[in-house]
Amino acid sequence: MPAARAASARFMHLHQPNTAGDGLSGPAVPLQDITKDQTERSDGTRFCIMNLHPGGHRLGMTMAEKILARASGRANVRPGEHVTAAVDLALTHDIFAADLFDLLSDSGFTCPWDASKVVVVLDHLVPAPTVVAATVHRRIREHVRRMGIVHFYDAGAGICHQLLPERGHVRPGMLIVGTDSHTTTHGALGAAGTGIGTSEMAYVLATGRLWFRVPETVRFILHGRLRRPVAAKDVVLSIAGRFGADVAQYRAIEFAGPGVAELTVAGRLSVSNMAVEIGAKFGFFPADAKTATYLQARTGAVVAPFGPDPDATYAATHEIDLDALAPQVALPHTVDNVRPVSEVAGIAVDQAFIGSCTNGRLEDLEQAAEILRGRHISTGTRLVVVPASAEILREAERCGVLATLVDAGAIILPPGCGPCFGGHQGLLGPGERCIGTHNRNFQGRMGSPEAEIYLGSPATVAVSALFGRITDPRRVLVA
């Protein structure tokens, strides 16, 4: 047996679910057998996001169920079933890519199943802080060239979860997998995004498919509107604090209700990014007019609305009153250890961090600049700002936001993950405290295990840098 076929057989044995004889691993439904709601992949090919077989029985489905049904060639799927699904986009970054491509090569594969559906980003350790990191980056670049991977973003382009939507890789209804847990970010645009491990990704790159257990879905219905300076970050922190970090364990989340229309696309990206912090496999917003406007500007494509069926079934439904929400902060050392900022105000901070794939977008930097304009951060407090992409960096410079932040005493780092995951640039020493806009505050994540990490919105972080203590942003900004 040729090496590539043997490797494929080994992958199939290791990764296929125990569904022998149930027909779950058949080909995707041909376009001629699909009757409505077609859209386009990033490569221009068309696919369906509803899966209606002519004459077949129609069951109401959630967004996760629709996407997994379409991707697995099924008319319907239900929670708890196992399916083998065709992947629309595979993402990896510099922490895993070199070893991943080595594994693929060692298994006899010279290229991915479809090099145009793979995105590789150098974002976690940029610029390379060590010889080891630089060597890894070199290996990745060599693999990318050898395998003919089309979409490669080198150091300085930005964070993977900003670049995918920004560069037009995401469409509603897509199934996206990434070697990063915050791949749930792309649910903000109506895509099923989820993180997977290196061996799973090797299987995807070899075959273009992966098995999934169809998740139940929890629905959060948003009512009202946010009262400035309360932000989307406060919404997801409030949900984590109220319902716990496991409320959606291996479940999908759908954010719905009239309050959804009040959130910007950037705000939705922040919320979906942190869906994984409350256990979610996917974190969806419906694809609406705002989604279509954003994607049309990025891709030129016309995007149809996409959401759940009206008669979809949910494991649980929760109501969220945006009008009543106050600024929130997550205390060490868990994301669900959340209190209103007003209850913990006064805690001194050594560092404030604005950035990450959660809150490094232009509107985040703009809100910080609004607070800091004409002011200077507190003596003894460092403010580290990391734009999420080169495009955001350029726009922040063009509109004066960058100059405002620098004048206020901020340190501007190159686009990338920065200190979020503790790789380099802005790490914490023993006994230090940081308040940041990122997504995790686990012990030791940003450096010393004796340091403390608090999480808040860009407004909360900026005003805390201004006073050198955790501070309610309503002290400076009013509705």
**227 and 158 housed in the same domain:** yes
**445 and 309 housed in the same domain:** no
Angle subtended at Cα 274 by Cα 319 and Cα 175, rounded to the nearest 5 degrees: 100
**280 and 346 housed in the same domain:** no
Round to whole Å and give the CA distance between 456 and 353: 10
Positive or negative, the CA dihedral 280, 285, 286, 291 is negative
Round to whole Å and give the CA distance between 90 and 57: 32
Round to whole Å and give the CA distance between 417 and 126: 8
Round to whole Å and give the CA distance between 331 and 247: 19
Q: Which residues contact 11 (CB under 8 A, 6 or more apart)?
A: 107, 202, 203, 206, 207
**356 and 256 housed in the same domain:** no
Q: What is the pLDDT of residue 479?
A: 57
* Number of structural domains the chain divides into: 2
Q: What is the pLDDT of residue 58?
A: 67
Please provide the distance, in angstroms rounded to a whole number, between the alpha carbons at the two ends of the chain. 69
Domain hosting 334: range is 328-475
**88 and 216 housed in the same domain:** yes
- Backbone torsion region of residue 224, taken as left when φ is above 0, otherwise alpha when ψ lies between -120 and 50, otherwise beta: left
φ/ψ of residue 220, rounded to 5: -110, 115
Q: Output the DSSP codes for 426-452.
A: S-B-TT-EEEESSS---TTTTB-TT-E
**346 and 273 housed in the same domain:** no
Q: What is the pLDDT of residue 46?
A: 46
The model's pTM is 0.88
Q: What is the pLDDT of residue 269?
A: 98
Q: What is the pLDDT of residue 49?
A: 45
Round to whole Å and give the CA distance between 343 and 328: 9
**368 and 458 housed in the same domain:** yes
Residue 100 per-residue DSSP state? H
Round to whole Å and give the CA distance between 106 and 332: 42
Q: What is the pLDDT of residue 422?
A: 82
φ/ψ of residue 258, rounded to 5: -65, -25
CA distances, 64 to each of 140, 217, 247, 261 (Å) = 32, 8, 17, 21
Ranges of H-type helices in 148-259: 160-166, 198-207, 232-243
In this structure, what token pair is assigned to residue 424? Answer: 């380099």
Round to whole Å and give the CA distance between 262 and 151: 33
CA distances, 343 to each of 4, 376, 445 (Å) = 60, 25, 25
At 235, which CATH number?
A: 3.30.499.10
**242 and 375 housed in the same domain:** no
Listed in order, strand segments (DSSP E) in 10-124 are 38-40, 46-48, 82-86, 89-93, 118-121
**204 and 106 housed in the same domain:** yes
CB atoms near residue 28 (< 10 Å): 18
Q: What is the pLDDT of residue 296?
A: 94
Q: Which residues contact 102 (CB under 8 A, 6 or more apart)?
A: 139, 143
Round to whole Å and give the CA distance between 190 and 226: 22
User: Of the candidates 306, 325, 344, which is a domain's last residue?
Assistant: 325
**299 and 175 housed in the same domain:** yes
**311 and 373 housed in the same domain:** no
Q: What is the residue-level pLDDT of the chain in tens, covering all 479 positions?
A: 343 444 444 444 444 443 333 322 333 333 233 333 444 444 454 444 444 444 455 689 999 999 999 999 999 999 999 999 999 999 999 899 999 999 999 988 999 999 999 999 999 999 999 999 999 999 999 999 999 999 999 999 999 999 999 999 999 999 999 999 999 999 999 999 999 999 999 999 999 999 999 999 999 999 999 999 999 999 999 999 999 999 999 999 999 999 999 999 999 999 999 999 999 999 999 999 999 999 999 998 889 999 999 999 999 999 999 999 999 999 999 999 999 999 999 999 999 999 999 999 999 999 999 999 999 999 999 999 999 999 999 999 999 999 999 999 999 999 998 888 888 889 999 999 999 999 999 888 888 999 999 999 999 999 999 999 999 999 998 65
Q: Which residues contact 132 (CB under 8 A, 6 or more apart)?
A: none
User: Of the candidates 296, 325, 354, which is a domain's last residue?
Assistant: 325
User: Of the candidates 265, 295, 325, which is a domain's last residue?
Assistant: 325
Taking the CA atoms of the chain, what radius of gyration do you get in angstroms? 22
**346 and 308 housed in the same domain:** no
